[in-house]
Amino acid sequence: MSRPTENPRAAGPLAGYTVVDLSRALAGPHAGQMLGDLGARVIKVENPVSGDDSRSWGPPFVGPEDNPQATYFFSCNRNKESIGLDLKSDDGRATLEALITRADVLVENFRGGVLDRLGFSTSTCLELNPRLVILSITGFGHDGPEASRAGYDQIAQGEAGLMSLTGSGPDDLQKVGVPIADLLAGMYGSYGVLAALLERERTGRGKVVRTSLIAGVVGVHAFQGTRTTVAGQDPVPGGNHHPSLSPYGLFHCRNGAVQISVGNENLWQKFCAAFGLDPAAPGMATNAERVDNRPAVTAAVEDAFAAYEPDELLEKLSSAGIPSGIVRTLQEVYEWEQALSQGLKVAVDHPVVGRMELPGPPLRFFDVDADGETETTVTEHTAPPLLGEHEATIRAWLED
């Protein structure tokens, strides 16, 4: 195996930066994956026996029966290397210490106190490497009266209010269909890391960035949050319709449904002209009236849609200038030409599964000059690693 002398991730805005990822499950690994997508070298440190928890989360599993691979693990560990370390052993601690000394970023999502007991408190890590940026993700925050609670996505979705907004009505509370609290914590965490790295350019010193699952959810309360804090309302689920705009949501037609977004009065006028409705009808003349009279507006819209199949309805809405769309399955999304054009599916070579396709990174980058734009997005990606796959390479790098 070759002995690297520089970061093998040689392209992208974070090329040359090294991230040591101690995290497992989803929130921390998602943050690490985002940094890896940007070109950082991400070294995933795992339990040498069982690895990341999500290696066993399934079904579905793929690959041979005697070496099944969890697709859950694949979702948040592309563009990483893996080394297995027993952090209770002398070798494990010494190797982690060497990694920290050479790293730019350390990502961890242990429960409070675990790293301290292993001998790697934040102060110790910063003594080893004063330029280190440490990202710490917890369930409920590192301090406060409930800091010690274990953080799991669905619990956080409920505790941070998201489930109280999601569902068909107050008696049908639902979680979001993906582990959104974990994902948001990872996204906010990587955002914080980038800010800390930028600050380090001025100060020469690293720092600790902390976020949590509940913070991530509260961070996207958006207008529902200000409905509560400013207007004094306590929002409830509104199903597939917008609580502050009408008509805006999912509406049924013949043999299906479409979604429309009538976001201003100009669009309302265009919509009514296209479908023969009176824009000034009682209870419909303004958005506020339409929100107050939502059942009547919904009935009028669906009556107008009843004669149309989804495809012909979408064509008519588009011709009228009304934002609209369908609800795609995930399989349809990953076959959709527009999604593919944005790099939202990538192919990688996995040592066990072989060639496979993964959801792609959500960012693209361009250089712009007088001659136009040149895309600089990283398009070559590596598969999520096998447990300990890169141990020899990483140890050789540490010995350089």
Answer whether 274's CB lies under 8 Å from 316's CB: yes
Does the bond joining 59 to the residue before it have cis omega, within 30 degrees of 0?
yes
CB neighbourhood size of 202 (10 A): 7
Helix (H, G, I), strand (E, B) or coil at 139: coil
**DSSP H helical segments within the chain, as ranges?**
27-37, 71-74, 90-102, 114-117, 122-128, 153-159, 180-203, 213-218, 222-229, 265-275, 287-292, 294-305, 310-319, 330-333, 337-341, 391-399
List the structure tokens of 239.
């199903």
User: Taking each helix axis from N to C terminus, what angle separates 391-399 and 90-102, rounded to the nearest 10 degrees?
Assistant: 70
Q: What are phi and psi of 158, to 5 degrees?
A: -75, -50
Alpha helices for 213-322 (secondary structure H):
213-218, 222-229, 265-275, 287-292, 294-305, 310-319
Residues with active-site annotation: 182
* Rg of the chain in Å (alpha carbons): 25
Closest CA to 265 of 248, 241, 243: 248
> CA-to-CA distance for 157 and 254, rounded, in angstroms?
35
Strand partners, 167: 173
Q: List the structure tokens of 226.
A: 């200000």
Q: What share of the chain is helix, strand, coil (3-state, %, to 5)?
A: 35, 20, 45
Q: Which amino acid appears at position 284 of this protein?
A: M
Phi, psi of 90, rounded to the nearest 5 degrees: -60, -45
What residue ranges in 3-93 does DSSP mark as E strands?
A: 18-21, 41-46, 61-62, 69-70, 81-84
Alpha-carbon distances, residue 48 vs 239, 391, 398, 400 (angstroms): 45, 10, 18, 23
